[in-house]
Amino acid sequence: MPINQLHHLTSGQLLRQKDDIKPSSAYLQGTFSCVRSTESISTMSFSGKYQLQSQENFEPFMRALGLPEEEIQKGKDIKSITEIVQDGKKFKITVTAGSKVLKNEFTIGEESEMELMNGQKAKVVVQMEGNNKLIGETKGMKSVTELNGDIITHTMTMGDLSLKRVSKRI
């Protein structure tokens, strides 16, 4: 495989160091071959602390959720901290926004009770798409959390209204 094609491996796959990579006859052209098979291993981990960098449509989304106007105004400029602890398929997520702390735990593919941003409890089954996207749906709302490097993008959609929050690993 030419070196310039190694970046075409799907995310979640790496060549383990134990594989012997030897120059092929076309060594001078930068072509290498792997003499043992590759193994697929997970490379994405959501674990870490993330600080909110930006958000779009916070106020209209929170109004649609039924939050009181004074809470919306207090919360709109808070740079919340999200801490994620991932252990395989198990997740613990803690969001701290000022004095408000929201904690949820779930296992991929299993029903869990979670607290929503408006304080309501809901049954949710979170699925993983690829190895960097979490998707959950409940009470007419869809939540998609996507990890790209040190950036987490969390998009919540209700009908035709979406809230997009972008956080960076700290």
CATH number of the domain within which 119 lies: 2.40.128.20
Quick one: average pLDDT of 132-159?
95
Residues 104 and 141 in one domain: yes
Residues 120 and 61 in one domain: yes
Residues 36 and 52 in one domain: no
Residues 103 and 79 in one domain: yes
Q: Which residues contact 27 (CB under 8 A, 6 or more apart)?
A: none
Backbone phi, psi, residue 70, to 5°: -65, -35
pLDDT band at 59, cuts 50/70/90? very high
Give the pLDDT of residue 117. 85
Residues 57 and 115 in one domain: yes
Give the pLDDT of residue 161. 96
For 90-100, b where at least 16 C-beta lie within 10 A, e where not — what string? ebebebebeee
Coil vs helix vs strand at 129: strand
Residues 113 and 34 in one domain: no
What's the total number of domains in the chain? Answer: 2
Residues 28 and 88 in one domain: no
Enter the pTM of the model. 0.72
Residues 33 and 90 in one domain: no
pLDDT band at 30, cuts 50/70/90? very low
Residues 65 and 26 in one domain: no
Residue 159 has pLDDT above 60, yes or no: yes
Residue 4 has pLDDT above 50, yes or no: no
Residues 84 and 113 in one domain: yes
Residue-number span of the structural domain to which 33 is assigned: 3-40
Residues 8 and 88 in one domain: no
Residues 57 and 34 in one domain: no
